[in-house]
Structure 1
């Protein structure tokens, strides 16, 4: 039997504003995993290995997160890769299945966050941090501002893009307008309100040119996916449910991120380019073959940078691309039909699994009012500063029914 891998079950919780729901992280995981297992039509006893991702919880929380699902003694691996944690857990599950170590693997991601933006504490940044190289570039280019650290990174990248290519603040804000509009039809989204361009532009300033509605919020929630072998799919007659992982790659920063002195490079643009090139080469596809995309719009500018990194347009043309309508319903691609991180929410460890869930529903034709007509190939992009970028290609209907 081949080493092909398939997602047969996905599940997630609604992403919530922090402290608005009376739950702890095991409760989130029970809900998300239960939904994924029910979607797959299997019991937890069939799972042979599990990768559990989170960023802020205490060590070995992955075991505790799954104890309320079942005490089966399977290997549980804890994963932390910053904002790319969920997709890294998914990659581990895929690799276990692809290598023959398991026929059924579970990927889980969760986060129970605290209030406030992700920034240094009162004592400032310690000397050695996962972002110390990034911070040197930030400080050298534009200095430290009185705004959240991550917003400074991406706001500065937006400024560079505007200075270098003539991108406008309106084009950057158009990303948020689009994604908030998409989220109206997503019952799992933290925010489901539509905004005009004027409302987004006039919202509370965070770090120029970014306003509040262009920034992903802190969120609580969990997501899960069941990954299986081709043999398992065929033996259980799951061809009509199976979405194939056509190709997947994980890259980290190279010297380019810090040597160019570019605010754009330091927020992961080189990682996105490298990951996209590798995953398209491995699948024998191009971005022109893709129908639907879930990408890491932690801030509106990063969606524009990702358009360019994925090859959807030339470098510097991302603002014009979103302005043209090419990345929404009726355009060439539908990007972030879920609402993206900006509107759906961004519980760090869960984000990658929520992206997987959305694309699985889309490729099965189960996305309801969000459905992208005729979607057959989906792309997932999940980025973490410090640094990791996971790009995954999915395909629908790749197995015949008889085998």
Structure 2
């Protein structure tokens, strides 16, 4: 088994639907940026995995063929919002197993406006999520699934622990403050708790500024073996110290908890395995990019990933333990709430930020002394990927 390293990363600025290039051009730009970052030519790539959710058959080939017809294996990956990080998971395994010495994971999304509804009306989708949600809080056929389930998690956190609306809004304020220094982020203007709470109501307690925006974008990561790292002198490469992909168990849907429905249990299981593989714990993490698709899910993640105990997240947020000068810097990129959430690109974009952080190349976003980083991605339906990166 070879150790796997991320030798190069690249992404493009995230934009609103209708403002971006088409997916294959976005992907090409991200790949070229990653190749340049690693100092590797596309002809050296031996295997590729491409993550996306809103595309057609072999869109990965459509994108990568623009860089050359090299005959390599190209696998298209669809794992909901964890598609991009699932592509990294596959290529990391290919490198560790010795099947490839140089591989690439790519993620992209050309998103429509608004929160997407079911892709197909004539076949079952998200049946476990719908069944559990209906039993817990009821089901609205004409409302997008993410709004109902993450809004339901928000209600549950308020009801169970007494978390205040202002606490949820503070997460959006923190997100915008971080994003102002990120040239790849969609929203770079700072905001206030009052503005967040007074933004357009979306569903239940969720307001517009508490929801990640539909966004288009692409990102890529080049993964190499230790022997290639040494042979090519890739001294800036970042080690993948531990990584896990987990899916749901019965308790995700039988516990009568909306937090479990949106991924608390699956994320906790993925994190536990990744921590074990990397021989670290949450107390060792200096910087984390986690899946803040809604403010409620950022709190779910704090507790699922072990940064706070259940019921203690409000204190953690109010005391600003989630930003610079605190216990751990959460989403220095601005996260999904401010950077944007082009579904297939999100997980790899998180890794781009963390690689820059561990190299000390994040500019005004730099987390001083960052040596251990965590990436967390969750997809409804469901899957969670947790990656531990080390300098």
Match of 1:111 among 92, 109, 130: 109
**Deviation readout 1:362-399 (Å, 9 max, x if unpaired):** 00000011000010000000000000000000000xxx
User: Gaps spanning 5+ residues in structure 1: where?
Assistant: 397-403
> Residue in 2 aligned with 1:102?
100
Contact persistence 2:274–2:386 (CA under 8 A): yes
Contact persistence 1:147–1:206 (CA under 8 A): no
Q: Does 1:165 align with 2:161?
A: yes
Give the number of aligned pairs: 390
> Residue in 1 aligned with 2:131?
136
Displacement of 1:341 in angstroms is 0.4
Displacement of 1:355 in angstroms is 0.4
> Residue in 2 aligned with 1:156?
152
Local SS of the residue matching 2:67: coil
> Residue in 2 aligned with 1:183?
179
**Deviation readout 1:169-213 (Å, 9 max, x if unpaired):** 111111111111110000000111111000001110111221101
Local SS of the residue matching 1:326: coil
> Residue in 1 aligned with 2:204?
208
> Residue in 1 aligned with 2:366?
371
**Deviation readout 1:41-61 (Å, 9 max, x if unpaired):** 010011000001110100111
Contact persistence 1:36–1:224 (CA under 8 A): yes
> Residue in 2 aligned with 1:271?
266
Displacement of 1:259 in angstroms is 0.9
Q: Does 1:20 align with 2:19?
A: yes
- Alpha-carbon separation, structure 1, partners of 2:10 and 2:147: 30
Displacement of 1:140 in angstroms is 2.2
Local SS of the residue matching 2:109: strand
TM-score by length of 2: 0.98
Displacement of 1:127 in angstroms is 5.8
> Residue in 2 aligned with 1:329?
324
**Deviation readout 1:85-129 (Å, 9 max, x if unpaired):** 0000000110000000000000000000111212248xx965611
> Residue in 2 aligned with 1:93?
91
User: Gaps spanning 5+ residues in structure 2: where?
Assistant: none
TM-score by length of 1: 0.95
> Residue in 1 aligned with 2:230?
234
Q: Does 1:36 align with 2:20?
A: no
- Across the aligned residues of Structure 1 and Structure 2, the Cα RMSD in angstroms comes to 1.3
